[in-house]
Every structure is written in structure tokens, then in C-alpha cells.
Structure 1
Amino acid sequence: MLKRISTIMLLGVLLTTGITMVPASAAKDFQFAEVTVDELQAGYAAKKYTAEQVVQDYLDRIDTYESNYNAFTAMNPDALALARDYDRRLAAGEKQGPLAGIPIVIKEAVDMAGFPSTMGWKPLDPSSGGIKLIPEKDAPVVARLKAAGAIIIGRTNIPAFSSDGTRASTSWAGDTYNAVDRSLVPGASSSGTATSVSGNFAVLGIAEETGGSIQNPAAAQALVGIKPTFGLVPNVGVVPLGGSTRDVVGAHGRTVHDAALMLDAIAGYTPEDPKTVASIGNMPVDGYTSKMNDFELKGKRIGLYGPGWRNQPLTKETQALYERAVKELEAQGATVVADPFAGSGFAAFVKAAGSVGIESVVYDMDQYLKRLGPSAAIHSVNELIAKTGQTPDVLARYPDALKNPSAFPDLTNFTKVRKEYLRIMNAVMDRNDLDALIFPQMFKETPKLANKTENIGATTVSEINIAGVPLVTVPAGYYASGSPFELAIIGKMWSEADILGMAYDYEQATHYRKTPTLVKAAS
């Protein structure tokens, strides 16, 4: 198996879009396709299979398909040992964590002790002669998932510095391919996580967003994605774009319930990340699955997409799919309010304010590098530039900040803009007595990967990222072409349990997600 893992890592670097393919069923030969957390753990309890058998099956599946999807940057050579340890503890009757025995993946941008942090950037890829940058400790979210008993299968591909919301083309490892359809962009920057979860390479995955990087790949690959309130989940130990302002760590899952279980495991205060002090008193006592039932939409008032939010019309087919979804929401008992932002000035303000919050990137990167520890090869932005001989584009945009990377940036404008975002959004929701906003996540189909200039047409980026409010994506059908269509459910800050409950109700009423049929490279 270790030999096969090494082969996977090498094949990920060698992929090209012109690879010859042969079809193979995503479900026929793999007994755990679309399995949920509860189903898997019930099987363990009933002794239908062991965690070692489960993990081996996932690794075999990855070995079959990874060369054609390039979801991973590294595999975890300890995965089988961790599975055997879980089996031992289960047999001994030891208490297990809430995600015990569940195979998961971690986005490359999130630190794992002992694994290179490449940031998706070739100068930091040791396999091609780059600097090996090894963090000494796990990011808090990784530590929490390990404590919950999850079995980490591997680390997943991202574009360089996570600075693309559509594709992973700038990664040293090359493109990741969409599990639903290889010809479509995978969504980014959590590309590899989405492909892994949608393609049944893992049950759950850690994603992260600054401007669409959780929701875009989730929507492109028929997944549930949770973009949490800023400050709910610690983001230290994660390669930053807006660590002080916008970056959030969240979940990708195939079901709403599973994704919520991952949020339960990673959310909450830690002294390692003082921003998370805001989460105290703002988390549901009974967890993020507490409002999941088949009548959660009944009596809810839902705001719909319109030019008051963004003056971007939907394509004809998107409009038809959205209208069907609205009828489904109404059938579940919801009352809809057309374009509640009309007359609020929101769309005009968003356009005038522009994209803010990334101006902290130099400082945030400096802090991130310091956290890697004394034994790491690089400890500061200045060292990063000196040792690689390059200034990454994401940093070069802020030449003044580069003069003193350790100086905290002036965020006066950002805080002013966020305050106005929240004022308008809260006022609109209060005036219309809205429980949530539900929009199509994209105003058009997912673009083709071959079209290198067309980006995903998200309707909520960067509005929710600047505002810091939560969003959940849920599958809502497919275009005639087979491209997924998804809804984005948006709530006020700290309303994750509420919008997850609504997402669950809609999911259970419709069951739109289909198991992707993967294809493997011809031998």
C-alpha cells in the first residue's frame, strides 16, 4: 500500500487534460459509496466490517481513480495504522469520539505536523526541488478532528496560495478534476477536498474560504458546503489570504447531517486563535444537527435573489431551476419574499466598496510562518522571499506592507465596510422578518475546465465573505448538461444551526444529489 500511495503522489503531478479514459462505475465495485457517518459507525458497531477494511477500500479506490482526478497532494501513510488502532479501541470498549473511524481529507492549506506545507506553490514543493516547509504542530482544526477520532486519508490539492475560486491550475501538482464531470472546473480553492468527497474518496473533508473557496467547489460538485461565521472556527495554522478579516475553515460533505457533524467537531473557542472568543455564547447547546427535521422550513420567511442584492441576471436555465426550487421551498411550508434588498442600496454599496479584507495578507502570512515553529525552514515573509528568490503575487500586491510584514495592517476601511454590510443585511432581514436568504449559488452553469478565462459565476462572493455571515450550499438539481445546480442558504451571524436545519429539510424533501460516475485512465 505504501508503494501505491507513492505512485498516487507522482501521478498527481503528471496529469494532463488530454488523458485517455475508460468508464467505470462509481458505486458498482465500492460498497461504501455515499455512506454517511451514522451508517458507517453503525456498521462498525454491528461488526459488519472493521475500520482497517474500510480504509483499505478507500485507499484501493483512490489508487484506481486518483491518476485521473488529481485530488491529493499527499497521502497519510499512517491511515491504516490509525484504523487498526480504532478497531482495537472499539473491541476494548473504549469511549470513541463523534467522528471515530470516519475517513476524511484535509485541504493542503491546513497545517498537519510532519507534512510539508506547500501552499500549492512550486517553490515550496519538495518533490520538485522546492523548500520543505514542515510545521511542528497541527492546526487547531486538525487537532480537534484527530481528537474526534477521524482518520485522515490525505491532503488535498489547491491552487497556489488558494487564490483562485474556480480551478487549481496554478498548483504545483496541476489541475484537479471535477468528480461529477472531468470537463467542468472543480471549483476552488478547496478543489481537491470537493473532488475527494464528491468522488467518494472520503466521507468528509476540510475546506476553507476567503472568497468562495468552500461554496464554489461544493456547488460545482453537488456537495453540501458549510461556510461558517467568521470567528466560529479557528483559522490559525491555515495558509492565509485574509486571516485577520475573512478566512474561515468549514466542511464539505455529501449530506447536510454529515457536514454539520464535522462543524461540531471543529467549531468553538481556542486560546490559539483569540478571534474565536466571539463564538462563546453563540453556539447551539445541542450542536449543529439540533434543528434537523422534516418541517424546519414550515413557517419560515425566505428572501429571494434579485437585483437589490446584485444586478446580475440569472441565465434562462438557471432561472428555471431556481423557480422550481422556490416552489419546492413553498411546498415545505416556507413563505418567499421577492428581492427583499430592493431599495436598500446594497448592490450599489457592494460595487462601490469593492473587495476588501485581503490587505491583511502580508501580516497574516508573517504570523502564519512564525507559527510553523523554530525547526521550520522559513519563519517570516522576509525569509520566504529571500529563500525562494520570489515574491508571491498575493504578497506583491501590497508593497507598503512588505516594508514591515510584522506590522499590523490598517483595517479601518475594512471594518467600516463590514459594518455597513451588516447594517444593511440585518436591516433588510429584520424589516422583512426573514429567517434566511436562499439564492442560486451560481447565476450560470459551472464553466468548462478547458476555458481558462471563464470563472464560476457565484452570486454571494464576496458579499458574505466581507460581511462574515454563514452560508450553506445544498444540491438542488442538475442542468440539462449534467452540471450541478445548488442553492446557497444565508443567515445572520451565528445562525448555522438554523440554516443547516432548513438545508436538511430541503435535502430530505428533494434528494437531488446523484452519485458521480468516475472514470479511470486507460492503462
Structure 2
Amino acid sequence: MTELWGLTLSTQARGVREGAFSAEELMRSVLDRIAQTNSQVNAFCTLNEHALAEARAADKALAEGTATGLLHGVPFSVKDLLPTAGLRTTLGSTAYANWIPDHDDVSVERMRTAGALLVGKTNTRELGYGIVTDNELFGPTRNPRKLGCTAGGSSGGSAAAVASGMGSISLGSDGGGSLRVPAALCGVFTLKPTFGAVPLYPSCRLPTKAGLGSWETLESVGPITRTVEDAALVLETIAGFDQRDRHSMPTDLRGLRAGLDDGVSGLRIAWSPRLGQADVDPELLELTTRAVNALDQAGLGCEIATVDPPIGDLHELRKVFATTVARDSDLAGLRELAGRYKVSEDIQDLVGRDWTAEAFAWAAMRRQLLYDVIRSFMTDWDLLITPTTATAAFPIGLREPEQTVAHDWSPFAFLFNLTGQPAASVPIGTTTDGRPVGLQIVGRRLADATVLRAARAFELLGMNGPNV
């Protein structure tokens, strides 16, 4: 019999509603799993000491007929970059080691409104700058599939928590791959939704604290789950307009689950294994190609062709991204922070450069050109598929592989933060030594449902590797 912590989010929510088990029993199961597992993985940095009391209150509400929503009584965790009212939010920085926010971020607020119960905060890279999870406060998060390796980042704590069964859902954020990279390395599912579909506030929108208001035009909040259906359920819950976020769009993602099994018939899918120029680990390239071929040969009615979008030079686009990150950052505040506290190498690199207005203008123009090229390309293609990363997980303590096949081990994810398109990472297997591999599925803007349908098709092919 599957332990309660090992059930999917959808099954947990249904079980609580139908009385198969109580919210308190479910919360105890998850907390026991955290107690057994977190010392090895270091996914959680702060636990909610009121979690059991809140679970008992949820059971009481259910008994009295005042249950609040579809996620009533289900535990969830939140990346430590997203503010949580009454629960410490450090942003992965010694500067904020004792900060307790007054307000939830919008997505957290909506999860609570739906009845979900916050179990704790997950480890992150300091202020989100970097795609491994390690910081001065809490140390590195380990990959639960390969403990000697990184979980990726900056939502590494969230990915590791879900991959190891410490909850079925964790909210993370993605400004340059920070959901997709750790999901791929840990063997779980995620979707970075269309930019603006899920509001952010106060994170990335309220620059009252250095670093909190960064990533404004790049960041999206999304779910990390073990199944596509669970991610769709969460997105139905957290998406939708909120005027506190000036980038928020009146996007209605309700009904995502209803269309999940509509399949991929009639879709035109571009498969670009290297974007025409990226260096990809040979075994990872073989695994991702095999997954795409399996979908092509499954007789599902889609058209798949190997084709590269004409994006231009990846090296230049990486500079565009770095410059955009700098333009979105409170450089003066971060420099002051770096003068008072020990900060990560990523932040040191950022504040150590002399950025110019001309560089910011160049990046903005080049970003617009990239968007136009991709938009034009995708008038002919419903989806673009690439590997999620160029390599699988590498040893803990490094910012990048020591003997990488590429100068850039994550060349695929950041592009779609620049364009704002929805992009998922679906697990499609493991290397011979057990390291998970992910496949990135990119859709047109606002076509989140199409991305989820394709991800569900891959999921049904059964290539997602080991379960918890």
C-alpha cells in the first residue's frame, strides 16, 4: 500500500474530501517523511511549526461543511524566495536570515484560499541568482536520485522535496530555468507558465528589499509535481489576473485538467536537439532523441520534424540574458548588500561589472528580435522540443560541471524567459548511472494547455524513470 506522502496531489485532495483519510493523517505522513529524509537531501530550510494544528483545523472545517476549496487539507511547500506570511523567508541570504513577511505572495495566498496547508519553505540559491542550490545559510541541497550530485537550482529545494516524497507539490519560480533545470535533474515535472499568467507580488514586484524586486520581466511562478495532472490542478488554482502585478494578464487557465488527455493529434512539433549549436552530452542526447522518436512512432497523429529555430548565436543570447538580469536588478542595493554580507559568487559577478545604459538598450533590442524570430517560427509549429539541460546532474558543490561538454550546461531554458513562452520539463529516463534526464516542451504564448497535453503524452509513454 502506498504511503499517504507518496500519493499524487489529486489523490491526496480527493482522499481528504471523501474521508479516506484526514488532513491530520496526511500531514503527519508528510512530516514523518521529511523527518526521515531531509537530513540527507537538505530540501527544507524552514518548517511550519503550526502545520499539524492547521491540519486539525482543516478536518474540523470539513466536518462542519466549511471546507474552502479543491486542495483542502493538502500539504504544500514553497521556495524560500516567495514571501509567506508569518513564516520565515530568507531569500537564501544571510541578510534576510530572520525576515518574517506580513503578506503571502499571490500564488501562496491562492493555494491557502484553496485549502492547501503550508508545510514549510524549501532551499534556494541566494536571491535566485544561479542554477544550483547552495547558500551560506543552509548549505547545498542534494539530488535525491543521486545524493553526491546537485539538485540544480534555483528551485532545487522544491524539486528535491517533491522527488523524495516530502510532499506532492512545491511552488517554485523560474527567471532563467530555475524551475525546469532542477526538475530535470531530479526527475520530476514542472511547467513555467506563460509570463504574466501567474501573478507575483510582492516578490519581483516590490523593491523594498535588495533582491526581492529583481527578475521583474523574466520571472514566473509555477508548480513542481510528480504528475502532469497535479501541475494542471495547481495552475488552475494560482493563475489569473491580480492588479498588484503590473505584468499580470487576465489569463484563465481553468479547465486545464479537462483537456489533458486530448492528445497531440494534429500538432506540428519541431524537435531541436541542439538548437543548431549547443554542445550536449552524448548520452543525454541519445535519451532525449529516443523519447521524441517514441512519441513520433506511437501513432498519436502528430507531426514531428527535426528543425532548428533561427535564433542566432547562443553565446550572444546568453549575454543578452545576463544583461537583462542586471537591468532587472537593484544593482545599487545589491552592491550595498555585498558590502555588508558575504554573498554568492553569482551575485559578486553581477555587481562587480560596470553595466551601462547602452548595454541595457542593446539587450532590450536584441531581446525583441529574439521574440519576433521565435514568434514567426512558431506560426508553423505548435510546439518546440529540446533537451532541458545539456548535461545531467553533476557533483555537489560545483556551479557547473568540471568536465562539461559545453561552455554552457544550461543553454536551452533561459531563452524562453526572454520570450515569455510557456515551457515544461518532463522526465524521460535516467543515464546509466541513475541521473534523471528531462525534455523541454515549449509552446506559443498562452498555449499552456497545449504544452501540458504534450507533456501528458510523454508521461503516458512511461519513460519517466524511478518513482519515489
- Asked if TM exceeds 0.5, the reply is yes
Q: Structure 1 residues 155 and 434 mapped into 2: Cα distance closer, same or farther (>3 Å)?
A: same
- Distance between the aligned counterparts of 1:352 and 1:87, measured in 2? 52
1:311 to 1:118, Cα distance in 2 relative to 1, 3 A: same
Aligned partner of 1:183 in structure 2 is 148
Letter in 1 for 2:117: I
Q: 1:153 aligns with which of 105, 114, 119?
A: 119
Number of aligned pairs? 453
Whether 2:261 is the aligned partner of 1:261: answer no
What is the aligned-residue identity percentage? 26
Deviations 1:336-372 (A, max 9, x none): 121242x564657636745332123444x89xxxxxx
Structure 1 Cα separation of the partners of residues 280 and 229 of structure 2: 29
Q: Which amino acid aligns with 2:190?
A: G
**Residues 176, 417 of structure 2: 8 Å contact kept:** yes
User: Which of 494, 498, 503 lines up with 2:455 in the alignment?
Assistant: 503
Scaled by the length of structure 1, the TM-score of the pair is 0.79
For 2:411 and 2:355, the matched residues in 1 are separated by 33
Q: Which 10-residue stretch deviates more, 64-73 or 352-361?
A: 352-361
CA RMSD of aligned residues (A): 2.9
1:292 pairs with 249, 252, 260, which one? 260
2:108 corresponds to: 142
For residues 105-147 of structure 1, what are the alpha-carbon distances to aligned partners after superposition, in whole Å with 9 as ceiling and x for unaligned?
Answer: 000111012223322122432xxxxxx3222211111111111
Deviation at 1:483? 0.9
AA of the residue aligned to 1:175: P
2-side partners of 1:351 and 1:164: how far apart? 14
SS in 2 for 1:237: coil
CA distance in 1, matches of 2:342, 2:399: 25
Give TM-score, length-normalised by structure 2.
Answer: 0.88
Query: How far off its partner does 1:511 sit?
Result: 5.2
Spell out, residue by residue over 1:418-474, the C-alpha distance to the aligned partner (whole angstroms, 9 max, x if none): 2211111111122xx211011111223221226564178234132111112110111
How many angstroms does 1:287 deviate by? 3.0
Which runs of no fewer than 5 residues in structure 1 stay unpaired? 1-27, 126-131, 367-379, 517-523
Deviations 1:176-226 (A, max 9, x none): 111112122101011111111111111100111111110011001111111
Q: Secondary structure at the match of 1:318?
A: helix
Counterpart of 2:130 (choices 159, 164, 181) is 164
Q: 1:305 offset after TM fit, Å?
A: 1.2
Cα 1:457–1:242, aligned 2, differ >3 Å: closer, same or farther? Answer: same
Matching residue within 213, 216, 236 for 2:201: 236
- The Cα of 1:383 is off from its aligned counterpart by 7.9
Q: Which amino acid aligns with 1:148?
A: A
Report the counterpart of residue 220 of structure 1 in structure 2: 185
- Structure 1 counterpart of 2:396: 449
The alignment partner of 1:274 has SS state of: coil
Matched with 2:4 is: 32
- Cα distance, 1:83 vs. partner? 0.8
Which shows bigger deviation, 438-447 or 79-88?
438-447
After superposition, the C-alpha distances for 1:362-390 in whole angstroms (9 at most, x for unaligned) are 44x89xxxxxxxxxxxxx7798578x466
2:294 paired residue among 328, 334, 344: 328
2:326 alignment partner in structure 1: 359
Between structure 1 and structure 2, the one with the greater Rg is 1
Of residues 440, 443, 451, the one that matches 2:387 is: 440
What is the match of residue 427 of structure 1?
A: 376
- Paired residue for 1:371? none
- Within the candidate set 441, 445, 468, 1:489 is matched to 441
Give 3-state SS (helix, strand or coil) of 1:182's partner.
Answer: strand
Instruction: Name the CA shift for 1:409/1:209 in 2 (closer, same or farther; >3 Å).
Output: farther
Mark the runs of 5 or more structure 2 residues left unpaired by the alignment. Answer: 204-210
Contact 1:62 1:201 in 2 (8 A): yes
Distance in 2 between the 1:482 and 1:133 partners? Answer: 38
**Aligned residue for 1:314?**
280
The amino acid across from 2:466 in the alignment is: K
Counterpart position of 1:88: 60
For residues 276-310 of structure 1, the C-alpha deviation after alignment (integer angstroms, 9 at most, x for no partner) is 0xx22x434x43323200x5212211101145x24
The answer on 1:394 being equivalent to 2:343 is no
Closer/same/farther in 2, CA of residues 339 and 174 from structure 1, 3 Å limit = same
1:60 aligns with 2:25: no
Q: Check the 8 A contact 1:71/1:192 in 2, yes or no.
A: yes
Q: Which residue of 2 aligns with 1:304?
A: 271
